[in-house]
Structure 1
Amino acid sequence: MGKLIRGLGLALALVTALAGTASAAPTEIRIGVALEPPTLDPTAGAAEAIDIVVYQNVFEGLTRIDENGAVQPGLATSWTISDDNLTYTFKLADGVTFHDGTTFDANDVKFSFDRISAPDSLNAHKEFYSVIQSVTVIDPLTVEFKLSKAVGRFLFDIGRGDAVIVAPESAATNATNPIGTGPFSFVQWDKGSRVVLERYDPYWGKPVALTKASFVFISDTATVTNALLAEDIDGTNNFAPEALDVFKSDPRFTVLVGTTEGETILGTNNKKAPFDNLKVRQAMAYALDRKAIIDGATYGYGTPIGSAFAPHNPYYVDLTGTYPYDPEKAKALLAEAGYPDGFSATLKLPPVGYATLSGQIIASQFAKVGIKLELINIEFAQWLQDVYTNHDFDLTIISHVEPFDIGNYANPNYYWGYDNPKFQALNETLNGTTDEAKRKELAIELQTIIADDAVNGYLFELAQTGVWNAKLTGMWKNSPIEGLVLRDIHWVD
């Protein structure tokens, strides 16, 4: 499973969330965010909205991912790796406490990873950690991992939100009362309104400047625009690009335009007719005019993609020419597939701007080749239930924002139902390869396979478009992993 969705149009909350927060102190911050998280436990949910609030803020992992996507020490201050890449020995930070005052040690690490692999685990990425053969406590500040096979990105994977360290005393209630080791502790969750965090002064690491952070759920672009202009909120990391010009010329604000890991796709149910027919999927790929979609849905801020990989990744290969826009070729392929007059299908859209706008544009483009789409707008909770969990859909539009998530295509039970043994074997080889040149070669081959198979319609990579009070600094321009990391944000004169 993967963390999902990045909203360009801010959605689904009450304007009343802003009440009483207009006069924040210089060490406090109020951030407008797109979606309310369904839970606050990142080890038990698939939504990016969870990590936006808690990743590296409330919860920490053995390693952490920085703004450039590099692995840094976290709760593990150092580590050694055996020559065969099967044994990792981690030295843990001393003097760390959870927010309830309980002590962090190697037993918590063992508990956290045993919990991920448990039969009743709700972890969104159990497959990343299935290679862990054993976790052994050597002493309170030393823990040893033995792997069943070498994994080239193991240190990255244990730095994801899925692998943060939790305590046995509080793990069961982290969904609504998260207790971690991070620089901020959870204070309150006003459902439909906001989540409030406060600085945890006994924090073991580098002290943070902010004393309080409120994540406010705001309804739409107009509302968040007004909230920013009125200084009812101090910023947002993901503002609607169509309205950025309002802030570019206003000296009160800083506009940050960076990259994300958000591959936006026309998600396709490969197990359902007619989408189980390669020629139909190829026809849809030829019917997509990416430039028109990017101009209309992201106001030119998206980057075209031809497969499921971020263009800034060193393993990326440009496959946008695999199926160039060609409506006549699309019609011919539909006829070859037995649909000379096209067909009808549904397109389920979550409540975010890039999806609803892309859906309208794609419906118009598909109509030109005979594919008639019924647009169905649904709430995100329903999207998770219908599309992601029950696979009850024809087509959908979504951004997959988790880094290096091409491995989802190796899971035939993932929601788009792609089952290719060759791809699965190559992905397994990639996962066990540590040589960078070979990893890149394999990653390019994997990208090419799913592009050729037109598993999904590959549309664009989302940009991160942040708008912040000009007196704030330390925000991440780029988003190499899910989360809105607060540790370096502070006010300046």
Structure 2
Amino acid sequence: MSKLVKLTLAAALATALSPAVTLSSAFAAKTSLIMGMVLEPPHLDPTAGAPAAIDEIVYANVFEGLTRINDKGEVKPALAESWTISEDGLEYTFKLRSGAKFHDGTALDAGDVKFSLDRARADGSTNAQKALFADIKSVDVVDDTTVKVTLSSPAGSFLFNMGWGDAVIVAPESADGNKANPVGTGPFKFSRWAKGSALDLVRNEDYWGDKVALEKATFRFIADPAAALSAMLAGDVDAFANFPAPESIPQLEADPRFKVVIGSTEGETILSTNNAKPPFDDIRVRRAIAHAIDRKAIIDGAMFGLGTPIGTHFAPHHPAYVDLVNAYPYDPAKAKALLAEAGHGDGIKATLKLPPPSYARRGGEIIASQLREVGIDLEIIPVEWGVWVPEVFKGKDYDLTIVSHTEPMDIGIYARDDYYFNYKSEAFNATMANLNAEVNPEKRYALMMEGQKQLSQDAVNGFLFQLAKAGVWNAKINGLWENSPVQANDLTGVSWSD
């Protein structure tokens, strides 16, 4: 065979084989993911901010705590591989993972744990959930991999609290820079943030545990519901853990390219009320609002039927939930009578500040219409999160607002003296103090039930509905959470099918 024939044959074989090679590559499992998110976080430090969008990016992905909460709401080991508890319930001794490192290469040790917990509970702490650490009396380094936490009184929820995003472990060398350049111990590392557009994480090749399947994860910020739908249909994003256009769910359910999962969240969606500001400091006015709210109309109109009515600040899927929806049945005539009794027969004028989520903006229009029917005229003021957090949440400069509180088991926020509801109740505070000290599950449930009834009785807020988790993602994606027991888009178990 001549040299020319050999070369021609080799070229022909290469041409014949190239489609097979291309086909094989095309069907190889992907190792990247683009996750759509409605809200962009103000920064990336979960120990210094309340917005859920922070944890939805960094929890379990970038930062880790002593414990972690899994997709079933269970407490699992994280940076602490094990722990022992003293008989009196006051001392927790944690054994740390060997070989765990921060993303800058510094080793995790007991000193980092002490720094993190002492920082979170310090007088000048900016931690949004500082109350989680209130029971800590001292944190002591036993050795490099052992730390002892002593409580001032038994706390039945302590291990669960240590699994919140607000309790992640940070290093003193990098803590001050975590808002812009988060340095954690997790299986993903921060890579890039194009403000207003997207944020990238990459796989941490030096992770102490099992490597994740994804080499790269991108969070793309798309606030507009119509744009979110277009992005899904066009394949510009692979998933929305919390899809913002419930009206489009039937269309996506009918498309075999997608998997639609309607799960539950810890998100109590409420008409937050400034209990210290007249006329809302009058329980009769707050009860009038409760009677003026038609929850079904709000859920149908704003959420297209996705949501569970609630009558207090507690998740319906929890075994201690008390159904108090009918404590204030929809009754406009009763609402008008209560307003007249409170001296507001001629009506009330107030403001309703609405943050960006569609449940707030859409729900706010419906609620304003309902309250208008009983004589409460609301001026709707749309605000961005950059205004809502300092003005409403921190500054308490508001009459009414709508927000979904997505922190797990957060009924205790009503006992905080400086919380933005401005609710004051010695009886409720006593119930929460007893709950915090109780370790027996049945007794804890009884106290949770008592607290729910107290909040309903005082009509602290307009309790609307439990936020549903409408997840939509490519049908080939595995491992995304179907429910949200904590604020998280945990990508540690996510992979693509071939």
* TM-score after normalising by structure 2: 0.93
Give the match for residue 4 of structure 1.
Answer: none
Matched, 1:161 2:165: yes
Does residue 283 (structure 1) correspond to residue 276 (structure 2)? The answer is no
User: Partners of 1:119 and 1:281 in 2: how far apart?
Assistant: 34
Q: CA deviation at 1:219?
A: 3.3
Aligned residue among 340, 351, 360 for 2:345: 340
Q: Which one of 201, 207, 232 corresponds to residue 203 of structure 1?
A: 207
- Is 1:92 paired with 2:80? no
Please state how far the C-alpha of 1:225 moved relative to its aligned partner: 1.1
Instruction: Write the letter of the residue equivalent to 2:188.
Output: F
1:188 equivalenced with 2:192 (yes/no): yes
The aligned residue for residue 3 of structure 1 is none
1:466 is paired with a residue of what secondary structure?
strand
Map 1:440-459 → 2, pairs under 5 A: 440-459=445-464
The 5 A counterparts of 1:27-176 are 27-176=31-180
Q: Which of residues 224, 238, 241 in structure 2 aligns to 1:237?
A: 241
Q: Give the superposition deviation at 1:25.
A: 8.1
Query: 5 Å matches for 1:426-441?
Result: 426-441=431-446
Cα-to-partner distance string for 1:442-462 (whole Å, 9 max, x where unaligned): 110100001011000000000
Query: For the Cα contact (< 8 Å) 2:29–2:496, is it kept in 1?
Result: no
Deviation at 1:420, TM superposition (A): 0.4
Q: Which residue of 1 aligns with 2:412?
A: 407
> Deviation at 1:164?
0.3
More helix by share: 2
Separation of aligned partners in 2, 1:120 and 1:191: 29
**In the alignment, is residue 178 of structure 1 matched against residue 182 of structure 2?**
yes
Q: Which residue of 2 aligns with 1:473?
A: 478
Q: What is the CA distance between 1:147 and its match in structure 2?
A: 0.4
Encode CA deviations 1:152-210: one digit per residue, 9 max, x unaligned.
10000001000101011111101100000000000111111111000001111122100
Which residue, out of 308, 311, 314, partners 2:316?
Answer: 311
Give the secondary-structure state (helix, strand or coil) at the position aligned to 1:334: helix
TM-fit CA distance, 1:425: 1.1
What is the deviation of 1:256? 1.2
2:218 is matched by which residue type in structure 1? S
Give 3-state SS (helix, strand or coil) of 1:244's partner: helix
Per-residue deviation, 1:45:
0.5
Aligned-pair distance for 1:118? 2.2
2:228 to 224, 228, 239: 224
Deviation (angstroms), 1:119: 2.5
2:29–2:497: 8 Å Cα contact kept in structure 1? Answer: no
CA offsets 1:31-84 (integer angstroms, 9 cap, x no match): 110111111010011110100110000000000000111100001111111111
Amino acid at match of 1:215: F
1:491 aligns with 2:496: yes
| Partners of 2:91 and 2:151 within 8 A in 1 | yes
What is the percent sequence identity of the aligned residues? 57
Aligned partners of 2:350 and 2:131: how far apart in 1? 32
Rounded Cα–Cα distance in structure 1 between residues aligned with 2:283 and 2:226: 42
1:425 and 2:430 matched: yes
CA distance in 2, matches of 1:459, 1:264: 6
> Residue 120 of structure 1: CA displacement?
2.3
Bigger mean CA deviation after superposition, 215-224 or 441-450: 215-224
State the Cα deviation string for residues 119-176 of structure 1 (Å, max 9, x = none).
2221111111021111111111111110000001000000100010101111110110
Q: 5+ residue gaps in structure 2?
A: 1-27
Q: CA RMSD in A?
A: 1.0
1:249 — aligned with what? Answer: 254
In 1, Cα distance between equivalents of 2:130 and 2:384: 26
After TM superposition, the runs of 4+ consecutive aligned structure 1 residues lying more than 2 A away are none
Match of 1:271 in 2: 276
What secondary structure is seen at the aligned counterpart in 1 of 2:63? coil
Paired with 1:153 and 1:412, the residues of 2 have a C-alpha distance of 20
Q: Which moved more, 1:38-47 or 1:112-121?
A: 112-121
The amino acid of 1:244's aligned partner reads I
Deviates more, 1:461-470 or 1:126-135: 126-135
Corresponding position of 2:403? 398
Larger Rg: 2
In structure 2, the residue matched to 1:356 is 361
The code of the aligned residue for 2:209 comes to: G
Q: Secondary structure at the match of 2:349?
A: strand
Q: Which residue is 2:6 aligned to?
A: none
Distance 1:204 1:70 in 2: 22
Tell me the equivalent position of 1:21: none
Which amino acid letter does the alignment assign opposite residue 379 of structure 2? E
Within the alignment, does 1:461 sit opposite 2:495 as a pair? no
SS of structure 2 residue aligned to 1:42: coil
DSSP-derived class of the 1:439 partner: helix
Contact 2:37 2:223 (C-alpha < 8 Å) held by counterparts: no
Cα distance in structure 1, aligned partners of 2:491 and 2:160 = 20
Q: Would you say the 8 A contact 2:138–2:151 is kept in 1?
A: yes
Aligned residue type for 2:229: T
Counterpart Cα distance in 1 of 2:198 and 2:57: 10
Question: 2: CA distance between counterparts of 1:103 and 1:215?
Answer: 28
Q: Which amino acid aligns with 1:478?
A: N
For 1:41, the aligned partner's letter is D
Letter in 2 for 1:237: A
TM-score, with normalisation over the residues of structure 1? 0.94
Cα distance in 2 between the residues matched to 1:316 and 1:483? 23
Partners of 1:119 and 1:170 in 2: CA distance? 21
* Range moving further from structure 2, 361-370 or 40-49: 361-370
Question: Residue 190 of structure 2 aligns to a residue in which SS?
Answer: strand
Tell me the equivalent position of 1:6: none
